[in-house]
Amino acid sequence: MSLAEQINRVCTYIVHHLDEELSLDQLSRVAAVSKFHLHRVFAAQTGITLFKFIQLSRLRKASYQLAFKDMKIVDIALDAGYESPESFARSFKKTFGRTPSQFRNQPKWLEWQLTQSQLVQPGEREMNVEIVEMKETKVAVLEHCGAPQRVMESVEKFIQWRKETGLSPVKTSQSFGVPFRDPNTAPPEEFRFDICGSIDADVPANDYGVKTGTIPGGRCAMIRHYGSRDTISDSVYSLYRQWLPDSGEALRDYPCYFRYVNLVPEVDECDLITEIYLPIQ
Protein backbone atom coordinates (compact mmCIF):
# COMPACT_ATOMS: atom_id res chain seq x y z
CA MET A 1 0.00 0.00 0.00
CA SER A 2 1.40 3.40 -0.98
CA LEU A 3 1.72 6.27 1.47
CA ALA A 4 -1.04 8.15 -0.37
CA GLU A 5 -3.34 5.13 -0.01
CA GLN A 6 -2.55 4.91 3.70
CA ILE A 7 -3.47 8.54 4.26
CA ASN A 8 -6.62 8.21 2.15
CA ARG A 9 -7.53 5.22 4.31
CA VAL A 10 -7.27 7.26 7.51
CA CYS A 11 -9.22 10.15 5.94
CA THR A 12 -12.01 7.76 5.01
CA TYR A 13 -12.02 6.34 8.53
CA ILE A 14 -12.27 9.81 10.05
CA VAL A 15 -15.27 10.94 8.00
CA HIS A 16 -17.09 7.70 8.90
CA HIS A 17 -16.44 8.12 12.65
CA LEU A 18 -16.83 11.85 13.29
CA ASP A 19 -19.11 11.26 16.30
CA GLU A 20 -16.48 9.12 18.03
CA GLU A 21 -13.26 9.92 19.85
CA LEU A 22 -10.43 9.85 17.32
CA SER A 23 -7.21 9.13 19.18
CA LEU A 24 -3.75 9.28 17.67
CA ASP A 25 -3.12 5.64 18.60
CA GLN A 26 -6.29 4.53 16.84
CA LEU A 27 -5.66 6.58 13.69
CA SER A 28 -2.05 5.44 13.43
CA ARG A 29 -3.25 1.83 13.47
CA VAL A 30 -5.78 2.57 10.73
CA ALA A 31 -3.14 4.29 8.61
CA ALA A 32 -0.46 1.70 9.43
CA VAL A 33 1.87 4.62 10.14
CA SER A 34 3.73 5.06 13.41
CA LYS A 35 2.09 7.57 15.73
CA PHE A 36 5.46 9.31 15.97
CA HIS A 37 5.29 10.15 12.26
CA LEU A 38 1.58 10.28 11.41
CA HIS A 39 1.17 14.03 11.97
CA ARG A 40 4.05 14.91 9.66
CA VAL A 41 3.14 12.34 7.02
CA PHE A 42 -0.51 13.47 7.03
CA ALA A 43 0.40 17.15 6.66
CA ALA A 44 2.89 16.37 3.89
CA GLN A 45 0.28 14.41 1.93
CA THR A 46 -2.76 16.66 2.44
CA GLY A 47 -1.37 20.13 3.13
CA ILE A 48 -3.20 20.47 6.45
CA THR A 49 -2.68 19.00 9.90
CA LEU A 50 -4.48 15.89 11.11
CA PHE A 51 -6.25 17.93 13.81
CA LYS A 52 -7.36 20.53 11.25
CA PHE A 53 -8.78 17.82 8.99
CA ILE A 54 -10.83 16.35 11.84
CA GLN A 55 -12.04 19.82 12.92
CA LEU A 56 -13.02 20.88 9.40
CA SER A 57 -14.78 17.56 8.77
CA ARG A 58 -16.83 17.94 11.94
CA LEU A 59 -17.67 21.57 11.20
CA ARG A 60 -18.65 20.61 7.65
CA LYS A 61 -21.10 18.05 9.03
CA ALA A 62 -22.37 20.66 11.51
CA SER A 63 -22.99 23.16 8.69
CA TYR A 64 -25.28 20.66 6.94
CA GLN A 65 -27.10 20.01 10.21
CA LEU A 66 -27.62 23.74 10.72
CA ALA A 67 -28.90 24.30 7.18
CA PHE A 68 -31.04 21.21 6.71
CA LYS A 69 -31.87 19.65 10.09
CA ASP A 70 -34.16 20.84 12.86
CA MET A 71 -31.56 20.24 15.59
CA LYS A 72 -30.78 22.48 18.53
CA ILE A 73 -27.45 24.24 18.20
CA VAL A 74 -26.33 22.83 21.54
CA ASP A 75 -26.91 19.30 20.23
CA ILE A 76 -25.01 20.08 17.03
CA ALA A 77 -22.14 21.44 19.12
CA LEU A 78 -21.98 18.29 21.24
CA ASP A 79 -22.24 16.08 18.15
CA ALA A 80 -19.26 17.96 16.69
CA GLY A 81 -17.19 17.18 19.79
CA TYR A 82 -17.35 20.60 21.48
CA GLU A 83 -17.89 20.89 25.21
CA SER A 84 -20.09 23.98 24.96
CA PRO A 85 -22.11 25.95 22.39
CA GLU A 86 -19.82 28.91 23.02
CA SER A 87 -16.63 27.09 21.97
CA PHE A 88 -18.46 25.63 18.98
CA ALA A 89 -19.70 29.09 17.96
CA ARG A 90 -16.19 30.58 18.17
CA SER A 91 -14.70 27.79 16.07
CA PHE A 92 -17.55 27.87 13.53
CA LYS A 93 -17.32 31.63 13.06
CA LYS A 94 -13.54 31.51 12.74
CA THR A 95 -13.88 28.88 10.00
CA PHE A 96 -16.94 30.11 8.08
CA GLY A 97 -17.11 33.80 9.00
CA ARG A 98 -20.61 33.48 10.47
CA THR A 99 -22.02 32.31 13.78
CA PRO A 100 -24.02 29.08 13.77
CA SER A 101 -27.26 31.07 14.16
CA GLN A 102 -26.36 33.39 11.27
CA PHE A 103 -25.47 30.43 9.07
CA ARG A 104 -28.75 28.68 9.92
CA ASN A 105 -30.78 31.76 9.06
CA GLN A 106 -28.87 32.60 5.87
CA PRO A 107 -26.14 30.20 4.69
CA LYS A 108 -23.46 31.84 2.57
CA TRP A 109 -22.64 28.85 0.38
CA LEU A 110 -20.06 30.60 -1.80
CA GLU A 111 -17.95 31.57 1.20
CA TRP A 112 -18.58 28.13 2.70
CA GLN A 113 -17.36 26.45 -0.46
CA LEU A 114 -14.11 28.43 -0.43
CA THR A 115 -13.22 27.05 3.02
CA GLN A 116 -13.56 23.50 1.72
CA SER A 117 -10.55 23.82 -0.58
CA GLN A 118 -8.39 22.83 2.39
CA LEU A 119 -10.39 19.72 3.10
CA VAL A 120 -9.62 16.44 1.38
CA GLN A 121 -12.94 14.62 1.03
CA PRO A 122 -12.07 11.02 0.10
CA GLY A 123 -14.58 9.17 -2.00
CA GLU A 124 -14.67 5.52 -2.94
CA ARG A 125 -14.80 4.73 -6.65
CA GLU A 126 -16.23 1.50 -7.88
CA MET A 127 -15.81 0.71 -11.58
CA ASN A 128 -18.57 -1.87 -11.69
CA VAL A 129 -20.25 -0.55 -14.81
CA GLU A 130 -23.83 -1.63 -15.51
CA ILE A 131 -25.62 -1.12 -18.84
CA VAL A 132 -29.17 -0.04 -18.02
CA GLU A 133 -32.21 1.05 -19.99
CA MET A 134 -33.57 4.26 -18.50
CA LYS A 135 -37.16 5.38 -18.93
CA GLU A 136 -37.96 8.96 -19.91
CA THR A 137 -38.59 10.92 -16.72
CA LYS A 138 -40.65 14.07 -16.38
CA VAL A 139 -38.94 16.42 -13.93
CA ALA A 140 -39.25 19.77 -12.28
CA VAL A 141 -36.13 21.73 -13.23
CA LEU A 142 -34.32 24.67 -11.69
CA GLU A 143 -31.45 25.78 -13.93
CA HIS A 144 -28.36 26.97 -12.12
CA CYS A 145 -26.30 29.21 -14.39
CA GLY A 146 -23.07 30.63 -12.99
CA ALA A 147 -20.17 29.63 -10.76
CA PRO A 148 -20.23 25.95 -9.67
CA GLN A 149 -19.42 27.11 -6.13
CA ARG A 150 -22.89 28.71 -5.94
CA VAL A 151 -24.88 25.59 -6.84
CA MET A 152 -25.93 25.14 -3.21
CA GLU A 153 -27.73 28.49 -3.34
CA SER A 154 -29.88 27.17 -6.19
CA VAL A 155 -30.35 23.85 -4.37
CA GLU A 156 -31.79 25.77 -1.41
CA LYS A 157 -34.29 27.49 -3.73
CA PHE A 158 -35.33 24.17 -5.22
CA ILE A 159 -35.76 22.61 -1.77
CA GLN A 160 -37.94 25.53 -0.72
CA TRP A 161 -40.08 25.11 -3.86
CA ARG A 162 -40.44 21.40 -3.10
CA LYS A 163 -41.52 22.11 0.48
CA GLU A 164 -44.01 24.82 -0.45
CA THR A 165 -45.70 22.99 -3.33
CA GLY A 166 -45.40 19.33 -2.43
CA LEU A 167 -45.31 18.62 -6.18
CA SER A 168 -42.00 16.75 -5.99
CA PRO A 169 -41.82 15.31 -2.46
CA VAL A 170 -38.23 14.42 -1.60
CA LYS A 171 -39.21 11.16 0.13
CA THR A 172 -41.04 9.70 -2.88
CA SER A 173 -39.68 11.56 -5.91
CA GLN A 174 -36.35 10.90 -7.54
CA SER A 175 -33.68 13.61 -7.38
CA PHE A 176 -31.30 14.31 -10.27
CA GLY A 177 -28.48 16.65 -11.22
CA VAL A 178 -27.47 17.37 -14.82
CA PRO A 179 -24.15 19.19 -15.43
CA PHE A 180 -24.10 20.56 -18.98
CA ARG A 181 -20.43 21.60 -18.69
CA ASP A 182 -17.45 20.31 -16.74
CA PRO A 183 -17.24 22.48 -13.59
CA ASN A 184 -13.45 22.05 -13.58
CA THR A 185 -12.97 23.62 -17.02
CA ALA A 186 -16.02 25.74 -17.91
CA PRO A 187 -15.85 29.51 -17.37
CA PRO A 188 -18.31 30.42 -14.58
CA GLU A 189 -20.55 32.37 -16.96
CA GLU A 190 -20.89 29.26 -19.18
CA PHE A 191 -21.54 26.68 -16.47
CA ARG A 192 -25.06 25.24 -16.23
CA PHE A 193 -26.33 22.64 -13.79
CA ASP A 194 -29.96 21.50 -13.75
CA ILE A 195 -31.41 20.57 -10.34
CA CYS A 196 -34.30 18.16 -10.90
CA GLY A 197 -36.99 16.22 -9.10
CA SER A 198 -39.37 13.76 -10.74
CA ILE A 199 -43.01 14.87 -11.06
CA ASP A 200 -46.33 13.49 -12.33
CA ALA A 201 -47.83 16.72 -13.71
CA ASP A 202 -46.49 19.89 -15.30
CA VAL A 203 -45.07 22.58 -13.02
CA PRO A 204 -47.38 25.59 -12.66
CA ALA A 205 -46.01 29.13 -12.91
CA ASN A 206 -44.01 30.10 -9.83
CA ASP A 207 -41.61 32.73 -8.49
CA TYR A 208 -38.71 30.29 -8.09
CA GLY A 209 -38.00 29.77 -11.78
CA VAL A 210 -38.81 26.06 -11.57
CA LYS A 211 -40.19 24.68 -14.83
CA THR A 212 -41.14 21.38 -16.45
CA GLY A 213 -38.44 19.35 -18.16
CA THR A 214 -37.53 15.84 -19.22
CA ILE A 215 -34.60 13.51 -18.71
CA PRO A 216 -34.60 11.39 -21.89
CA GLY A 217 -34.81 7.63 -21.79
CA GLY A 218 -32.35 5.26 -23.43
CA ARG A 219 -29.32 3.12 -22.78
CA CYS A 220 -26.82 4.30 -20.20
CA ALA A 221 -23.62 3.09 -18.59
CA MET A 222 -24.05 3.46 -14.84
CA ILE A 223 -21.63 3.41 -11.91
CA ARG A 224 -22.15 4.29 -8.26
CA HIS A 225 -20.17 6.91 -6.38
CA TYR A 226 -19.95 6.54 -2.61
CA GLY A 227 -19.31 9.33 -0.12
CA SER A 228 -18.83 13.06 -0.54
CA ARG A 229 -20.07 14.49 -3.82
CA ASP A 230 -17.14 16.89 -3.82
CA THR A 231 -15.11 14.08 -5.39
CA ILE A 232 -17.71 12.95 -7.91
CA SER A 233 -15.62 14.34 -10.79
CA ASP A 234 -13.05 11.63 -10.05
CA SER A 235 -15.67 8.94 -10.67
CA VAL A 236 -16.94 10.69 -13.81
CA TYR A 237 -13.42 10.99 -15.24
CA SER A 238 -12.78 7.31 -14.44
CA LEU A 239 -15.85 6.32 -16.42
CA TYR A 240 -14.68 8.30 -19.46
CA ARG A 241 -11.02 7.38 -19.10
CA GLN A 242 -11.06 3.75 -17.96
CA TRP A 243 -14.30 2.26 -19.25
CA LEU A 244 -15.39 4.12 -22.38
CA PRO A 245 -12.30 3.63 -24.64
CA ASP A 246 -12.50 -0.17 -24.50
CA SER A 247 -16.28 -0.50 -24.27
CA GLY A 248 -17.06 -0.25 -27.98
CA GLU A 249 -19.95 2.08 -27.07
CA ALA A 250 -20.80 5.43 -28.68
CA LEU A 251 -22.10 8.40 -26.72
CA ARG A 252 -25.55 9.92 -27.12
CA ASP A 253 -26.12 13.67 -27.47
CA TYR A 254 -26.98 14.26 -23.80
CA PRO A 255 -24.67 14.97 -20.88
CA CYS A 256 -23.86 12.50 -18.13
CA TYR A 257 -26.18 13.00 -15.18
CA PHE A 258 -26.59 11.99 -11.56
CA ARG A 259 -29.36 10.33 -9.57
CA TYR A 260 -29.10 11.01 -5.87
CA VAL A 261 -30.05 7.76 -4.14
CA ASN A 262 -29.99 9.49 -0.76
CA LEU A 263 -29.47 13.01 0.51
CA VAL A 264 -28.04 14.98 3.39
CA PRO A 265 -29.40 15.28 6.08
CA GLU A 266 -31.21 11.92 5.87
CA VAL A 267 -27.75 10.31 5.94
CA ASP A 268 -24.30 11.58 6.82
CA GLU A 269 -22.17 12.81 3.94
CA CYS A 270 -19.88 9.78 4.14
CA ASP A 271 -22.89 7.49 3.48
CA LEU A 272 -24.13 9.25 0.34
CA ILE A 273 -24.75 7.14 -2.77
CA THR A 274 -24.88 8.74 -6.21
CA GLU A 275 -25.60 6.92 -9.45
CA ILE A 276 -23.73 8.35 -12.45
CA TYR A 277 -25.37 7.79 -15.84
CA LEU A 278 -23.47 8.09 -19.12
CA PRO A 279 -25.96 8.08 -22.05
CA ILE A 280 -24.87 5.70 -24.84
CA GLN A 281 -26.40 4.70 -28.19
Of 28, 12, 45, 267, nearest to 121 (Cα)?
12
Distance CA 181, CA 174 (A): 22
Burial of 33 (0-12, 13-18, 19+ CB in 10 A): buried
For residue 278, what are the contacts with CB-CB under 8 A and spacing of at least 6? 220, 221, 222, 239, 240, 244, 251, 256
Burial of 201 (0-12, 13-18, 19+ CB in 10 A): exposed
Tell me how crowded residue 255 is: count the other CB atoms within 10 A of its CB. Answer: 17
pLDDT for residue 46: 85
Helices (H), 17-49: 24-31, 38-46
pLDDT higher than threshold 80 for residue 124: no
Distance CA 141, CA 126 (A): 29
Sequence ranges of the domains in the chain: 3-117, 130-279
Q: Which fold has domain 130-279?
A: Multidrug-efflux Transporter 1 Regulator Bmrr; Chain A (3.20.80)
Axis crossing angle, helix 38-46 with helix 50-68, rounded to the nearest 10:
60
Cβ atoms of 93 and 82 within 8 Å: the answer is no
Confidence bin at 123 (pLDDT 50/70/90): low
pLDDT for residue 280: 97
What average pLDDT does the segment 164-169 reach?
A: 96
Per the prediction, the chain carries an average pLDDT of: 92
Q: CA-CA-CA-CA torsion for 13, 18, 21, 24, nearest 10 degrees?
A: 40
What average pLDDT does the segment 203-218 reach?
A: 97
pLDDT higher than threshold 90 for residue 127: no
Q: CA-CA-CA-CA torsion for 163, 166, 171, 172, nearest 10 degrees?
A: -160
pLDDT higher than threshold 70 for residue 122: no
Per-residue pLDDT reduced to its tens digit, 212-260: 999 999 999 999 999 989 889 989 999 999 999 999 999 999 999 999 9
Could you give phi then psi for residue 203, rounded to 5 degrees?
Answer: -80, 125
Confidence bin at 115 (pLDDT 50/70/90): confident
pLDDT for residue 263: 93
pLDDT higher than threshold 60 for residue 121: no
CATH of 3-117, one of 2.160.20.60, 2.40.30.10, 3.40.50.720, 1.10.10.60: 1.10.10.60
Same fold, 3-117 and 130-279: no
Per-residue pLDDT reduced to its tens digit, 46-81: 888 999 999 999 999 999 999 999 899 999 999 999
Tell me how crowded residue 266 is: count the other CB atoms within 10 A of its CB. Answer: 12
pLDDT higher than threshold 60 for residue 265: yes
